[in-house]
Amino acid sequence: MIKMGIPYNDYDALGLAELVKNKEVKPVELVEESIRIIELHNPDLNAVINKMYEQARQTAAATNLNGPFAGVPMLLKDITQEMKGEKITAGSKALQGYIAKQDTEYINRLRKAGLLFVGQTNVPEFALMGITEPKQYGPTRNPWNTDYTPGGSSGGSAAAVASGMVPLAGANDGGGSIRIPGAYCGLFGLKPTRGRTPVGPNTGRNWQGASVDHVLTKSVRDSAAILDVLKIHEKGAAYHAPSFDGSYLDVVTTPMSKGLTFAFSLKSPLEANVHPECKEAVLKTVKLLESLGHNVEEKEAPVDGYKIIKSYLTLYFGEVAASIASLEDVLGRKAKQLDVEPSTWLLGLLGKATSAEEFVLGLREWDIAAFQMEEFHSKYDFYITPTTAFPPAKIGELEPKSLEKLLINVVGKIGSGNLLKKAGIVDQIAKTSLMRTPFTQLANLTGQPAMSVPMHVTKDGLPCGVQFIAARGKEDILFQLASELEQTEHWSTSKERQ
């Protein structure tokens, strides 16, 4: 509760900004309330790993703030979202000494929008996992039930928003890292079209264009308004999204056409099991869409799901190897096995054993799938799947078993990624690592926008998301649809812990 008696968590970010604009509350008061809630819940959740309280207080008190989010506190993700003078570690002990030399364009745009940065959120090392349990900082826990993961890699951001610390938090998505924690924490999570949001000036692409920065939010309109702030034609960037000259926030309030076409699938691209609750979330949403006057058909995407997963893993291995190699710039020496987590080192070895030929062939699969999906969307406006194949796992449940840890350590010392590949470890990683989250990678590789909406709560009281994918450049219809669903009784809002 803010000093003036206004219930902080009754408002989304735009609602808080409106209070500031009308002088019903001061930015400093919003910052202090955010800090109070962080201090109250962070000991249990471990969502925030770097606090920027004094800087936020000073900015709130000394600056004549402008912009659509003037005076609203937010948290940043501890990877890529670099702010000059602040540590950013990507969840790794190897980067504890790294201080950002300049603001990224992402930071510049959010600051101009009036947002106040109160800290950074926890991530798995190098944002590699769909859970947030880095060795350096310890696990982040889900506000709905602290025995469970909030997902990853934007798990700290999701836990922070779902617990009411801030109304929105920085996130990025290279294989589902916005949508997975959104699904696990009952939040709205949109991955924009490739090239829609800024990547510079430190790089022209993240994960070969698979990774895109945005936010996790409680409300659809906050996500839309932030995308209005972030959308850009960045001259130095490797990719540019189809232009959109309108306002995404205006789109949210524009009634949606009836009779749109939806395809849905309940089948895992890995041909593995999908939990009944995740299927139920989709089927319940399908019935709702039909009742709203839309046309829905069960139809799988026309892509080779296993090839998509394999090409994603080729990217994954290569990017990890490159990240480990680049640690030399920070450490002043080549990285050693003990500088990173054992599983990270293992993935790096696989990256070193991946040829340029394999990498290029993997990228070609992206392009094949992109054209296949464009053709698919000439008939269907949306493609629906579960966001994840299973509800959240328990903390520690996905830790490598004792024998797996021994294998990782032995192979790490031998240093042979080729040996691992011959042993079939790539197929094993595909099946075990992505078995729970096989649906999200497609949109990253094709560059399409995709969103997770909170449409179901399991019998165990845990959120379960539904994913919608649209054609490239079509964030507007995703926002329209999400706004329509947000008005229904099926929308399962975040569980705030005040």
- Contact in structure between 258 and 487 (CB atoms under 8 Å): no
User: What is the rounded CA–CA span in Å between residue 71 and residue 66?
Assistant: 8
pLDDT at 62: 82
- Contact in structure between 178 and 216 (CB atoms under 8 Å): yes
Return the SS3 of 200: coil
The mean of the pLDDT values for the chain is 93
Among residues 177, 265, 323, 494, the one annotated as catalytic is 177
User: What is the rounded CA–CA span in Å between residue 125 and residue 343?
Assistant: 10
Q: Which two tokens stand for residue 195?
A: 């090239």
Region 463-471 average pLDDT? 98
Among residues 34, 77, 92, 223, the one annotated as catalytic is 77
pLDDT at 402: 54
User: Nearest CA to 445 among 269, 284, 290, 201?
Assistant: 269
Given strand 212-217, what is the order of strands in its sheet? 48-51, 116-121, 73-77, 168-173, 212-217, 188-191, 450-457, 463-469, 382-386, 261-264, 295-298
CA-angle at 275, arms to 270 and 276, nearest 5°: 130
Q: Which two tokens stand for residue 54?
A: 């004094």
- Contact in structure between 31 and 118 (CB atoms under 8 Å): yes
Which tens digit of pLDDT belongs to each residue from 351-362? Answer: 999 999 999 999
pLDDT band at 133 (very low <50, low <70, confident <90, very high): very high
Residue 407 pLDDT > 70, yes or no?
A: no
Residue linked to tokens 């893993």? 313
CA-angle at 213, arms to 157 and 19, nearest 5°: 60
pLDDT at 276: 98
User: What is the rounded CA–CA span in Å between residue 458 and residue 145?
Assistant: 12
pLDDT at 497: 45
Neighbour-count burial of 212, counting CB atoms closer than 10 A to its CB (0-12 exposed, 13-18 middle, 19+ buried): buried
User: What is the rounded CA–CA span in Å between residue 36 and residue 42?
Assistant: 10
pLDDT at 243: 95
Strands 73-77 and 116-121 turn out to be: parallel
Among residues 34, 153, 157, 223, the one annotated as catalytic is 153
With a pLDDT cut of 70, the percent of the chain lying above it is 92
User: What is the rounded CA–CA span in Å between residue 347 and residue 320?
Assistant: 6
Q: Quick one: residue 36, left, alpha or beta (phi over 0 = left, psi -120 to 50 = alpha)?
A: alpha
pLDDT at 15: 98
Strands 295-298 and 261-264 turn out to be: parallel
Region 356-372 average pLDDT? 97
Q: Residue 280 is which amino acid?
A: E
Residue 403 pLDDT > 50, yes or no?
A: no
CB atoms within 10 A of CB 1: 12
Q: What domains can you pick out in the chain, each with its CATH number?
A: 8-262 (3.90.1300.10), 305-379+399-433 (no CATH)
Which tens digit of pLDDT belongs to each residue from 316-336? Answer: 999 999 999 999 999 999 999
Which tens digit of pLDDT belongs to each residue from 286-319? Answer: 999 999 999 999 999 999 998 999 999 999 999 9
**Residue 77 designated active-site:** yes
Which tens digit of pLDDT belongs to each residue from 222-249? Answer: 999 999 999 999 999 999 999 999 999 9
- Cα dist. 426→3, 353, 366, 434 in Å? 55, 11, 19, 11
Neighbour-count burial of 26, counting CB atoms closer than 10 A to its CB (0-12 exposed, 13-18 middle, 19+ buried): middle
pLDDT at 343: 87
pLDDT band at 414 (very low <50, low <70, confident <90, very high): low
Which tens digit of pLDDT belongs to each residue from 242-276? Answer: 999 999 999 999 999 889 999 999 999 999 999 99
Residue 485 pLDDT > 60, yes or no?
A: yes
pTM: 0.96
pLDDT at 433: 75
Q: Residue 141 is which amino acid?
A: R
pLDDT at 3: 65
pLDDT at 417: 63
Residue linked to tokens 């019903």? 24
pLDDT at 63: 76
Region 147-164 average pLDDT? 98
The better pLDDT of the pair 427, 157 is held by 157
